[in-house]
Amino acid sequence: MTVARESVLAVLDRISLPDGGTLVSRDLIRALVVEGGAVRFVIEAESPEMARAVEPLRAMAERALLALPGVVSVQAVTTAHGPAAKAPSLKIGQHPTPQPAGPQKVAGIDRIIAVGSGKGGVGKSTVSSNLAVALARQGRRVGLLDADIYGPSQPRMMGVNRRPASPDGKTILPVEAHGVTMMSIGLMLKDDEAVIWRGPMLMGALQQLIGQVDWGRLDVLIVDLPPGTGDIQLTLCQRTQLTGAIVVSTPQDVALLDAKKALDMFRKLGTPVLGLVENMSVYVCPNCGHEAHIFGHGGVAREAERLGVPLLAELPLDLAVREGGDAGRPVAAAEGPLADAYAALARRLVADGMA
Ligand SMILES: Nc1ncnc2c1ncn2[C@@H]1O[C@H](COP(=O)(O)OP(=O)(O)OP(=O)(O)O)[C@@H](O)[C@H]1O
């Protein structure tokens, strides 16, 4: 059954904004595609603040459209058009400015969760972006800071490539994607530009990304760390008051061995470990349903038990996760078992007061 574009617009025209008008009358709907029973569109807000305000309407619109006869799936994202993106005169990457000793609270941000891993490529950035999106879908005000300064992947994973504005050359205005306020050094660099900085420059850049970005009021800021136990991790844990850290690992021995080093680092720095996440836990063959433990089985659960920290989630290896990451559409923004797994992780953190 083919759904008429007009019927979709009629439904969206019934979704009212808090300050008047509807999604259609305020001209916020972009890139509306209706293919058979599948509906996709973007809600383009005028500013990051407005994007935050209209985010609950996205969920409302999705529900209303799913009730429309013939509609089988709805995919909607909120983006912020933002003020005219002037090229910032601000330069990222500088020596750190003196700061008071000891971990400091960041004004306006209630909780900060660092997501780390021992080894690269285990899915730390994937978990960070999907967790951020899942939390935003549950109505939390969420920020995502890509602190993987040598290999920033959040712009690709969140589908953003707009350079953030800095109207005054001091404050950086973050971007908005999938309901999440986001900043990455990758947004300030050209695609093929390498960062070749030593420790002090890294510390300065991290200080800028946390302190100079206008994060607004956040319930939680997710920090996607680089892999390993280097300068960035040390600076973040020593300078910023963190709610805690989540360590991502695959069940593979070599990844787990490195994850133990990351866990040891957080312990030595006095950062509470909120729990472990096992990524690429199981692969379910889409043809025959056979379950294969490609990277091994049970190691992360055993390590969590040994440390007395929760195993927060076991996330499957799934092609859709990789494709969603490459396309800038995290699976947590869609519907289905993968989104449900991230929603459960988000719910658990919210219930425990961590996010
Ligand atoms: N559960 C999964 N299923 C399928 N592909 C995945 C899964 N998790 C991550 N990937 C893919 O694996 C690759 C590495 O993931 P990701 O970049 O998140 O890892 P990382 O630990 O952050 O790596 P790095 O430290 O190098 O930044 C990406 O292409 C990602 O899409």
- Give the CATH H-level superfamily of domain 5-80: Fe-S cluster assembly (FSCA) (3.30.300.130)
pLDDT at 86: 43
pLDDT at 161: 85
Residue closest by Cα to atom 25 of ligand 1? 120
| 142: its two tokens | 């969420």
Q: Where are the domains of the chain?
A: 5-80, 112-351
Position in ligand 1 atom list of the atom nearest CA 316? 1
pLDDT at 168: 80
Q: Tell whether the model's pLDDT for residue 189 goes beyond 80.
A: no
**Mean pLDDT for the chain overall:** 88
Give 2's pLDDT tier (boundaries 50, 70, 90): confident
Q: Tell whether the model's pLDDT for residue 87 goes beyond 50.
A: no
Q: Tell whether the model's pLDDT for residue 8 goes beyond 80.
A: yes
- Please check whether the two domains, 5-80 and 112-351, share a CATH topology: no
pLDDT at 78: 81
pLDDT at 88: 44
- Provide ipTM, 2 decimals: 0.98
pLDDT at 85: 43
> Which of 166, 125, 162 has its CA nearest to residue 145?
125
Position in ligand 1 atom list of the atom nearest CA 128? 18
The answer to whether 260 is a known ligand-binding residue is no
Q: Tell whether the model's pLDDT for residue 203 goes beyond 90.
A: no
pLDDT at 82: 56
CA 124 to chain centre: 10
pLDDT at 95: 63
pLDDT at 28: 85
The answer to whether 86 is a known ligand-binding residue is no
pLDDT at 262: 92
Task: Name which of 42-56, 148-162, 271-285, 311-325 the model is least confident about.
Answer: 42-56
pLDDT at 32: 82
Q: Tell whether the model's pLDDT for residue 64 goes beyond 90.
A: yes
Most confident segment among 73-77, 211-215, 342-346: 342-346
The answer to whether 123 is a known ligand-binding residue is yes
* Over residues 316-332, mean pLDDT: 96
CA 82/CA 28 separation, integer angstroms: 13
The answer to whether 121 is a known ligand-binding residue is yes
Ligand 1 centroid vs 185 CA: distance in angstroms?
19
Task: Name which of 25-29, 120-124, 216-220 the model is least confident about.
Answer: 25-29
In this prediction the pTM is: 0.74
| Pocket of ligand 1 from Cβ distances under 6 Å | 117, 120-126, 148, 151, 153, 227, 279-280, 315, 317-318, 321-322, 325
Give 166's pLDDT tier (boundaries 50, 70, 90): confident
User: 112-351: which CATH number, 3.40.50.720, 3.40.630.30, 3.50.50.60, 3.40.50.300?
Assistant: 3.40.50.300
Sequence-ordered list of residues with C-beta below 8 angstroms from that of 177, at least 6 positions apart, any chain: 77, 79, 158, 159, 160, 328
Residue closest by Cα to atom 29 of ligand 1? 322
Q: Tell whether the model's pLDDT for residue 184 goes beyond 90.
A: yes
Q: Tell whether the model's pLDDT for residue 89 goes beyond 50.
A: no
CA 101 to chain centre: 29
CA 63/CA 68 separation, integer angstroms: 9
pLDDT at 194: 65
Task: Name which of 57-66, 88-97, 160-169, 239-248 the model is least confident about.
Answer: 88-97
Give 112's pLDDT tier (boundaries 50, 70, 90): very high
pLDDT at 163: 84
* Over residues 329-348, mean pLDDT: 97
Q: Tell whether the model's pLDDT for residue 90 goes beyond 60.
A: no
Exposure string for 77-102, b = 16+ CB within 10 A, e = fewer: bbbbbbeeeeebebebbeebeeeeee
Which of 322, 331, 338, 345 gets mutated to test ligand 1 (max ligand atoms within 8 A of its CB)? 322
Residue closest by Cα to atom 14 of ligand 1? 121
